[in-house]
Chains A and B, each alone.
Chain A
Amino acid sequence: MEPYISVKNVSHKYPNGVTAIKDINLDIHEGEVVAILGSNGSGKTTLVKHFNGLLKPTKGEITVGTMNTKKERISKLSSQVGYVFQNPNHQTFLPSVRQELAYGCKNLKMVDEDIETRVQKAIDLFQLEDRLDDNPFDLNSSQRKEVAMASIMAVSPKVIVLDEPTTGQDHKGCKRVLELVRMFKREGHIVVLITHDMHLIGELNCRTVVMNQSEKIADDHASVVFSNKGIMEEAGLQPPQITQFANQITRFDETKTYLTVESIIEWMKANKEEDVKVGTGS
């Protein structure tokens, strides 16, 4: 199958001379959820800004669908690659949720009927019916983030980029982000996440690309990446606490990498691990 996004030998040098990404190769296919990890300044955001043409490669080429990003307008690319910013305030500016939801579609000059259908779908999926007349700035940060995601969803781009979706979210908000990523996938979108949230990646159990000092140093399943100590240390990352815990427990299957609390409990149940002689505690 042809990849939907194809990044070939891409480098980007900013006008100030800093090379932010170096010789990146990356193929992303339909239906994939891809997390991009790495420390601050490793090049994650620079890489992803190439997907919607906000940045053009100074070397190499990127194809999105059938479009070469160097040759297409940002407006056309952004109808296929929606970007949800880290701070929803940076993309929220209209006085009501209803207007906010329609904005992206209007900007792309869609016809009114089409806009109505798309906005209604976003309203239904995000259950925003009761909030349509609210001012987005009267909502709390989790709700405002959802409105930002819903307005991108209304445009229905093939690819949805989420930049640090769980930053500043409480536990409930983080669980909601997890549900939303799964919903985007169900609805046929490719999801690209830029994140520092190891718990989120653990729960998603998805493909994980690690950036370090402008280069791609790993690209594999989260369980493989998280168990690669060399890569994790090089990139200054730590796997989720539960993975670190499981790695130190002698009776656990050491060939497996556990990413969530539930997965260990399930494994123990399936393997009747409770029968292993377990003391009554201290």
Chain B
Amino acid sequence: MASKAIEVNNLTFSYPDTDEPVLKDINFSINHGEILGIIGPTGAGKSTLAMCVNGLVPQVINGEMEGTVKVNGSEVSGSSVAKMSEDVGFVFQEPENQLSQMTIEEEIAFGMGNLGVPRDEMLGRITDALDQVGLTGFEKRSPLALSGGQQQRLAIAAVLAMRPSIMIMDEPTSMLDPKGKNEVYDVLKNLKDYGMTGIIIDHEVERIAAYCDKVLVLHEGEVQMFAPSDEVFTNIGQLHELTLNAPQVTEFLDSYNQAFGKDVKLSTTLEESVDNFESACK
């Protein structure tokens, strides 16, 4: 049987000098080509979990780890973070933390240079990556002269250019306007066409519901839900208990059903919710 893209078994992790593990007995797996959304309140352990997948935790950010994390069938603990970065691209929450070069094209070339990508190949990939995130024409500018939103897109382009098979994005759209947010999610969707696997951490439940195949809900270091997006977001009672919310359309259909004793089928996307509600009203 082909290996899973990511397989996490009995993962527990504690930061040094803390009483309680930040991740507790995490189990989940995703297939190649799937997009996983991770949601949960602040402090749930989402970023730590993501960093376990490329080995940053515990190899660079130390702590005590139990259990296993496998990427494309190999144990992450068996290879260095440098080796892992060929397979797993990581876009951090704060773009400033991963920008280091004088110009935008150098910024994108930086990661590829570390992987030893030939120069001609690099030039093509820079053009592609800038095009994907809508920064064409910015090649010679300084990364520091960009707005927060543009920096966020540059960080994504730099990772895309490395052509990892798995892409992890930690709140990559927090500073973007609505159009920019859609563009990032479209990039995520495009990954599927290349057979790439994606993980996105975000609070934007409406976009997660529309774009992700599966959703993992983390709360105080434990997996509370792990299922196809529809299943997670229609379980409104449990989401509310975890101080989370569903997309507004799902919240509406649920409130409507409760207020008027109806049972219109819940949906997590705009179009389907309109259809369900309209046909129930006929």
Residue numbers of A with Cβ under 8 A of B are 38-41, 86, 140-142, 164, 167-174, 196, 198-199, 236-238, 240-242, 244-245, 248-251, 261-262, 264-265, 268-269, 274, 276-282
Contact = CB atoms under 8 A, between A and B. Distances in A.
Contact of B280 (A142, A169, A238, A279): A279
Given A171-B244, A242-B249, A281 B264 contact: yes
Given A39-B177, A240-B248, A261-B255, A248 B274 contact: yes
Give me the 5 closest cross-chain CB pairs, A-B, nearest first: A274-B260, A40-B149, A242-B248, A236-B179, A39-B177
Contacts of A241: 206, 247-249, 270
Interface string B220-249: 000000000000000000000001110111
A226 B108 CA distance: 38
B20 to A, nearest CB: 15
A1 B90 CA distance: 54
A242 B262 CA distance: 19
Contacts of B249: 241-242, 245
B252 A168 contact: no
Contacts of B203: 168-171, 174
Contacts of B176: 40, 196
A231 B248 CA distance: 23
Given A245-B274, A281-B262, A281-B264, A40 B243 contact: no
Interface centre among B171, B181, B274 (most CB of A within 10 A): B274
Interface residues of B, number: 46
Interface in B35-65: 40-43
Given A241-B249, A249-B277, 15 more contacts: A39-B178, A169-B42, A170-B203, A170-B244, A174-B203, A196-B178, A236-B177, A245-B248, A245-B277, A249-B278, A249-B281, A265-B252, A279-B281, A281-B262, A281-B276
18 contacts: A39-B178, A40-B177, A40-B180, A140-B42, A168-B171, A171-B243, A172-B41, A199-B248, A241-B206, A241-B247, A241-B249, A242-B249, A245-B248, A249-B278, A276-B281, A279-B281, A280-B263, A281-B264
Given A198-B178, A264-B252, A170 B277 contact: no
Contacts, number: 129
Nearest to B180: A40
Given A140-B42, A241-B206, A277-B281, A167 B175 contact: yes
Contacts of A251: 281
A172 B206 CA distance: 16
Contacts of B247: 241
Interface in B116-174: 147-150, 171, 174
Given A242-B252, A245-B274, A170 B265 contact: no
B278 A268 contact: no
Contacts of A265: 252, 255-256, 259
B263 to A, nearest CB: 4
B280 A281 contact: yes
A281 B265 contact: yes
Contacts of B181: 196
A169 B249 CA distance: 21
B68 interface: no
B42 A141 contact: yes
Given A279-B280, A281-B262, A281-B264, A172 B171 contact: no
B96 to A, nearest CB: 9
Nearest to A244: B270
Contacts of A280: 262-263, 280
